[in-house]
Structure 1
């Protein structure tokens, strides 16, 4: 089996594993891996993950739904504005350089990581939450999903747990359900813009589904504090690698 094929399947499995474990869709790992390990252009690294996010998210969401760890009412409020945000965010990549998108991704990862590690109480308590808040969360996370190619889970998970007051496991499960919805319009726009390599997506998909299944089962049995800490540390490592590589390429 060619080395490239083995690398792509391994990347897919790891992306699926972390997707299922942390409710993030998998793009957080596949985007930098496609760019840094497999050597594809930056915008291909942004667009292609959205194609494989759908099977990844469905496989993980199924495990959480079986345990009652999905807030369906919250998901129904967020989905409509989220899909609008995905379409707008995906289209905006037409006007930016790929390197700008990669640096933006790393900054978002660091901000979210510190919130996950150090945030203990919800930012807003129940009486302070506007009825419109879920719709705003949907729009913002959708924009980031389409623009960064990361599925939206990076912001949905901390928004659900840190703003809406949901448990971390319920945040993971609900995020994966919404990621399944967000993936379709985002993938369609990036494909139309030429940012999707279908052959690469097919190869990665061989690993993502079993990875998501395993990751979700591990997370369901883990302690919530351990999950928050592991999620935050993981995001910081990925952000540093991604930003450092892009800066080195620009300077060099």
Structure 2
């Protein structure tokens, strides 16, 4: 199968997850770039930030029009994560490839378990505590910077579980957080972008953008809980593969 077809197929799947669940795109993008398209771990995490930043930014307006973006909370989350994201981006280029891949596998596995164990969100949103929002945002920013992930697969559970946000609002708000965190991390990874294969990244990102629109429509028709469970199982399998590959 040609590289272009693989890039288009992977981008479509990742965009679908991003649009439906408000996250997960980047956590699948990195292994796809490494194992399907031959990127190094550092190049894959940088390329992932580009892909997820573009797809998140284009998916955000549709959720905002539906009133499913909590701008104040999202901007607080994002602002708290900018510094850690930039610091993590600077550190990532100095980590050994095996350490980067192993750390990514651990975080992906933890996110999958969290999604499988997620409790049903309440229909009544609780008041947001700025301190808790800032702490969660800083943690997400650090993960984004080091591992090249947008943080949506962690942001949605945090927005629901920590801040009591409704699921669909958390999905929309997470896209704002992903966009800001990804751009902040990219600002510190300029040196790792020189050798990227833009002929692959371009189609990958384009397919992800189109997939995100379809994902939003899918989320309106299918139970978010069912989509979340399916994605978590796929994510768990990917995490196990990456950890085994690192150990061998």
Instruction: Determine if the TM-score, normalized by the shorter chain, exceeds 0.5.
Output: yes
Structure 2 SS opposite 1:87: helix
Task: Check 1:67–1:196 CA distance in 2 against 1; reply closer, same or farther (3 A cut).
Answer: farther
TM-score (norm 1): 0.88
Corresponding residue for residue 29 of structure 1: 28
Q: Does 1:210 align with 2:206?
A: no
**Residue 7 of structure 1: how far off its partner (Å):** 1.1
The answer to whether the Cα contact below 8 Å between 2:16 and 2:214 also exists between their aligned partners in 1 is yes
TM-score (norm 2): 0.89
Q: Deviations over 1:182-241 (max 9, x none)?
A: 221212322324476151322312311101111122113332322332232232122122
Name the CA distance, whole Å, in 2 between partners of 1:18 and 1:196: 28
The answer to whether the Cα contact below 8 Å between 2:105 and 2:243 also exists between their aligned partners in 1 is yes
Question: In the TM superposition, what are the counterparts of 1:148-163 in structure 2 within 5 Å?
Answer: 148-163=147-162
Task: Check 1:228–1:3 CA distance in 2 against 1; reply closer, same or farther (3 A cut).
Answer: closer
Corresponding residue for residue 163 of structure 2: 164
The answer to whether the Cα contact below 8 Å between 2:115 and 2:229 also exists between their aligned partners in 1 is yes
Aligned CA RMSD, in angstroms, stands at 2.2
Q: Deviations over 1:38-95 (max 9, x none)?
A: 1121111111111121221023223322222211121121121111121011111133
- The total of aligned residue pairs comes to 244
Corresponding residue for residue 178 of structure 2: 179
Q: 236-245 or 75-84: which moved more?
A: 236-245
Question: In the TM superposition, what are the counterparts of 1:1-252 in structure 2 within 5 Å?
Answer: 3-24=2-23, 26-120=25-119, 130-194=129-193, 197-199=196-198, 200-247=200-247, 251=248
Structure 1 SS opposite 2:189: helix
Task: Check 1:74–1:196 CA distance in 2 against 1; reply closer, same or farther (3 A cut).
Answer: farther
The answer to whether the Cα contact below 8 Å between 1:80 and 1:138 also exists between their aligned partners in 2 is yes
Unaligned runs of 5+ in 1: none
Task: Check 1:119–1:208 CA distance in 2 against 1; reply closer, same or farther (3 A cut).
Answer: closer
Task: Check 1:193–1:214 CA distance in 2 against 1; reply closer, same or farther (3 A cut).
Answer: same
Q: 30-39 or 20-29: which moved more?
A: 20-29
The answer to whether the Cα contact below 8 Å between 2:118 and 2:157 also exists between their aligned partners in 1 is no
Structure 2 SS opposite 1:174: helix
Runs of 4+ aligned residues of structure 1 deviating over 3 Å after TM superposition are: 193-196
Name the CA distance, whole Å, in 1 between partners of 2:54 and 2:17: 14
Name the CA distance, whole Å, in 2 between partners of 1:228 and 1:168: 11
Q: Deviations over 1:168-187 (max 9, x none)?
A: 22211111111111221212
